[in-house]
């Protein structure tokens, strides 16, 4: 009897080890997968002043995640520590065409995919805004890294990756994208598609890796124009409430919208059928 128990135990242990090895092999395959999208030529041509190029670039959220010289986005024991790296160090390694492919398709210089960085939103960035982003990125002085280390996945994160529960942005971007040449005069829908919809839906709450974001349409309808401006400018909700990640993205990114931009965004969100 004892012998049989030992054999069964040994078999169970062996199966577990094979399963773990399988997960790691799947993970390595996923992590090293490259995407076959060519970095198409892109000419950075902008008639905007340096200040206006930077302002527009900053409305597109690079700063909220990367901060000035790198930022830890998620640090969950077991899941992992996800770092948005120091842009001032990475950008010089990229050509303009490779930057466009990274931003619009979520594909790094070496052909592998990025996590979390919202290429599926950025695929909608217009050519003139892309030129503004690149002009701004190229103007940044190199800074020492603000955080130590790179992205590290823990066991739960690895299982999520191996089982396709944590998406690569490159898989979410349509194969063919057709961004417009110029930023529309009314940026309401554009701002929703490039920024807000990374975290929010219009009519339903949206759960992402680390937080639950409420439906935007009823909020845009209930907020007064003045409170909506205060929210995007300062990150404070009605009554001065701190709103966590919403406060952070507002302070870093949305505070760079003009007053007219913010009015257009609220009108679009509140009235879209």
Question: Least Å distance between CB 118 and ligand HEC?
Answer: 5
CA atoms in the 13 A half-sphere facing the CB of 124:
18
Nearer to ligand HEC by Cβ, of 3 and 83: the residue is: 83
Please tell me whether residue 115 binds ligand HEC under the rule CB under 6 A.
yes
Please tell me whether residue 161 binds ligand HEC under the rule CB under 6 A.
no
**Binds ligand HEC by CB under 6 A, chosen from 39, 82, 173, 202:** 82
Tell me, by CB under 6 A, how many residues bind ligand HEC. 48
Nearer to ligand HEC by Cβ, of 159 and 169: the residue is: 169
Q: How far apart are CA 78 and CA 68, in angstroms?
A: 27
Q: x/- site string to ligand HEC, residues 59 to 78, per CB under 6 A?
A: -xxx-xxx------x-----
**Binds ligand HEC by CB under 6 A, chosen from 105, 158, 200, 217:** 200
Nearer to ligand HEC by Cβ, of 2 and 144: the residue is: 144
**Binds ligand HEC by CB under 6 A, chosen from 238, 258, 259, 260:** 238
**C-alpha 74 chain-centroid distance:** 12
Long-range contacts (CB closer than 8 Å, 24 or more residues apart) made by 249-255: 249/61, 249/64, 252/58, 252/61, 252/63, 252/64, 252/67, 253/58, 253/59, 253/60, 253/61, 253/63, 253/64, 253/195, 254/59, 254/195
**Cα 153–Cα 159–Cα 161 angle in degrees, nearest 5:** 70
Q: How far apart are CA 86 and CA 167, in angstroms?
A: 22
Q: How far apart are CA 217 and CA 267, in angstroms?
A: 10
Question: Least Å distance between CB 230 and ligand HEC?
Answer: 10
Question: Least Å distance between CB 248 and ligand HEC?
Answer: 8
92: closest CA among 41, 143, 31?
143
Please tell me whether residue 158 binds ligand HEC under the rule CB under 6 A.
no
Please tell me whether residue 103 binds ligand HEC under the rule CB under 6 A.
yes
Nearer to ligand HEC by Cβ, of 18 and 40: the residue is: 40
Question: Least Å distance between CB 253 and ligand HEC?
Answer: 8
Residue 243 CB: number of other CB atoms within 10 A? 14
**C-alpha 128 chain-centroid distance:** 20
Residues that bind ligand HEC (CB under 6 A): 60-62, 64-66, 73, 82, 84-85, 87, 90-91, 102-103, 108-109, 114-118, 122, 133, 137, 151, 191, 195-196, 198-200, 211, 213-214, 216, 219, 223, 231, 237-238, 243-246, 249, 254, 265
């Amino acid at each position: 009897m004892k012998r049989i128990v030992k054999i069964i135990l040994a078999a169970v242990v062996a199966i577990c080890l094979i399963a773990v090895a399988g997960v790691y092999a799947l993970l390595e395959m996923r992590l090293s997968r490259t995407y076959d999208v060519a970095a198409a030529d892109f000419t950075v041509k902008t008639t905007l002043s340096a200040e206006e190029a930077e302002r527009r670039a900053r409305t597109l959220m690079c700063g909220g995640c990367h901060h000035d010289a790198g930022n830890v986005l998620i640090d969950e024991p077991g899941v992992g520590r996800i770092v948005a790296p120091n842009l001032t160090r990475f950008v010089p390694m990229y050509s303009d065409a490779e930057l466009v492919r990274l931003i619009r398709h979520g594909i790094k210089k070496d052909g592998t995919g990025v996590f979390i960085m919202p290429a599926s939103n950025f695929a909608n960035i217009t050519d003139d805004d892309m030129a503004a982003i690149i002009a701004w990125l190229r103007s940044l002085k190199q800074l020492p890294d603000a955080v130590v280390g790179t992205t590290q996945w823990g066991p739960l994160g690895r299982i999520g990756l191996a089982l396709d529960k944590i998406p690569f942005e490159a898989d979410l971007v349509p194969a063919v994208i057709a961004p417009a040449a110029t930023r529309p005069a009314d940026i309401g829908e554009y701002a929703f598609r490039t920024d807000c919809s990374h975290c929010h839906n219009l009519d339903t709450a949206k759960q992402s890796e680390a937080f639950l974001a409420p439906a935007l349409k009823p909020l845009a309808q209930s907020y007064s124009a003045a409170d909506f401006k205060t929210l995007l400018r300062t990150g404070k909700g009605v009554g001065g409430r701190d709103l966590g990640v919403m406060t952070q993205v507002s302070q870093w990114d949305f505070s760079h919208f003009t007053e007219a931009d913010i009015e257009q965004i609220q009108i679009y969100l509140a009235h879209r059928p």
